[in-house]
Amino acid sequence: MNQTMPILSSIRIGSKVLSNRIAINAMECCDADTNGNPTETAFRRYDRLARGNAGVIVVEALSVVDENRGRLHQLTALAQNQKGLTDLVGAMRKANPKPLILWQLTHSGELSSPEFSERVCVKPFPGYEGRLLTEEEVDEILERFVFAAKMASDCGADGVDFKLCHGYLGSQLVRPFNDRKWKYGGSRGNRTRFAFEFYERVSREVKNRDFILGSKISAWEGLPGGMGSAGPDTPIIDLTEVLDLVKGLEARGAKYIIQSAGNPSLTLALTQPDKKIPDYSYLHFWFQKEFRKAMKKETVLIGSAYSLFRDGKNSFRGVKREEASLVYWGNKNISEGVCDMVAIGRQSLADPMLPLKLEQGKANEIKWCTGCDNCVEFLIRQKPVGCSTHEREYTLELKEIRRQQGNLAESEKHT
């Protein structure tokens, strides 16, 4: 381990040795074409991320179906995307062969937008009721996930990140709220059936023996019956089930786990602590510690929610500035065994070159995330996502949104 900069130490995930302990968290950017293929804009984003030399790059949430999606311009992992995604992975490898490339696979379930797709659910959640899925339909969705994982392997990706966080279908199935008595709900065994069968099938059916399986997991959704709560009707934290889930995934071949929290549609600040109340970032540290304690030594734990710390010039209180930065906490948490790697989400939009700049001793050149959360606003508005602080194209996009809002407010005054 590099004693002064543990985040720049190498680490092994599966059979691949990574050059540093920084991971790029999955970041949906709403810039796919109408067939779910990566556009030039997406190619540019991933080219930069590859050149930025993070140890791991998780490609944003790819939907395994077309008919239930959260984003209009979302990447999809369907047969029609094989060429586009092969090209994307190839372009990333050409830019830099070192990073581990994972695809995050998802289905939106109750978070599908009824505006352009169908909202479906495993049990109607208050405010997110959709058509109730049948057992046969969930069996079919499992087939689609397995198909997407095989395609990831065929397209040259190193592995897949099965999404079990942020309130998407993976979370909807495993959370205690899913107490509907059916093949995929009620008992713990039924609620974890989908995730475990996915892992077992992929382990059996993907031919590449080095193919990596892992998941991003919401430790606590902050909702009654959400992941990490003590039962279907209480929000009180009890990590027992979530930690058993982690162990069950490890037993079925998980090589890494990404810790996360919250459900951005309902408890946004928990997933992405905001600069007004940044303190949830510390709660993520505790979740990491609990995950790490429960996990096998060889499984890599990647912690989330580090962006707000930036260079120490942040809104955390009661701290010395030199002991409040992303690099400080990354190094400290890794050296103290709280986590093995740190993931950056919003910061990766602000500066995809961060890992390389740190490796080259150019920390003073890093463009820091200001926590403005305009990227979140772009996402909510289904607009292409980027950093409006550091990239002119997105500054102009934000101005246009504001101009349209102004026009709307003006026209409402006159009606």
Ligand X SMILES: Cc1cc2nc3c(=O)[nH]c(=O)nc-3n(C[C@H](O)[C@H](O)[C@H](O)COP(=O)(O)O)c2cc1C
CB of residue 270 vs ligand X: minimum separation in angstroms?
10
Q: Which is nearer to ligand X, 182 or 286 (CB)?
A: 286
Question: Which residues is 227 bridged to in the sheet?
Answer: none
Q: Which is nearer to ligand X, 237 or 372 (CB)?
A: 372
157 near ligand X, rule: CB under 6 A: no
**CB-based closest residue to ligand X:** 345
287 near ligand X, rule: CB under 6 A: no
d(CA 259, CA 16): 21
d(CA 378, CA 73): 12
Q: Which two tokens stand for residue 279?
A: 């303190």
Q: At what angle do helices 188-205 and 240-251 cross, to 10 degrees?
A: 20
CB of residue 45 vs ligand X: minimum separation in angstroms?
12
Interface with ligand X (CB under 6 A), residue total 27
* Among 1-9, 13-21, 239-247, 298-306, the segment contacting ligand X (CB under 6 A): 298-306
Q: Which is nearer to ligand X, 31 or 290 (CB)?
A: 31
Q: Which is nearer to ligand X, 136 or 194 (CB)?
A: 194
Span 23-42, contacts to ligand X by CB under 6 A: 25-28
Q: Which is nearer to ligand X, 131 or 144 (CB)?
A: 144
Question: Which residues is 231 bridged to in the sheet?
Answer: 234
**Among residues 174, 358, 375, 387, which is the contact residue for ligand X, using CB under 6 A?**
375
Q: Which is nearer to ligand X, 29 or 120 (CB)?
A: 29
What torsion, rounded to 10 degrees, do the Cα atoms 365, 367, 368, 371 define?
Answer: 170
Q: Phi first, then psi: give them for residue 52, nearest 5 degrees.
A: -70, -15
Q: Which is nearer to ligand X, 211 or 280 (CB)?
A: 280
* Among 78-86, 119-127, 305-313, 404-412, the segment contacting ligand X (CB under 6 A): 305-313
401 near ligand X, rule: CB under 6 A: no
Span 205-224, contacts to ligand X by CB under 6 A: 216
Q: Which helix (H) or strand (E) holds 231?
A: strand 229-231
398 near ligand X, rule: CB under 6 A: no
Helices (H), 157-228: 169-174, 188-205
Q: Which is nearer to ligand X, 28 or 241 (CB)?
A: 28
404 C-beta neighbours (distance < 10 Å), count: 11
Q: Which is nearer to ligand X, 8 or 385 (CB)?
A: 385
Phi-psi region of 170 (alpha: psi -120 to 50; beta: other; left: phi over 0): alpha
Cα distances (Å, whole numbers) of residue 234 to 79, 223, 291: 41, 7, 21
Q: Phi first, then psi: give them for residue 363, nearest 5 degrees.
A: -60, -30
CB of residue 281 vs ligand X: minimum separation in angstroms?
7
347 near ligand X, rule: CB under 6 A: yes
Of 162, 296, 304, 102, which Cα lies nearest the Cα of 219? 304
Span 110-139, contacts to ligand X by CB under 6 A: none
d(CA 216, CA 68): 21
Span 250-279, contacts to ligand X by CB under 6 A: 260, 271-272
Cα distances (Å, whole numbers) of residue 356 to 253, 328, 364: 31, 17, 12
d(CA 248, CA 15): 21
* Among 6-14, 20-28, 87-95, 206-214, the segment contacting ligand X (CB under 6 A): 20-28
Residue carrying structure tokens 């026009």: 407
Span 164-193, contacts to ligand X by CB under 6 A: 165-166
d(CA 198, CA 249): 10
CB of residue 393 vs ligand X: minimum separation in angstroms?
15
Binding site for ligand X (CB under 6 A): 25-28, 60-61, 104, 163, 165-166, 216, 260, 271-272, 304-308, 344-347, 375-376, 379, 385
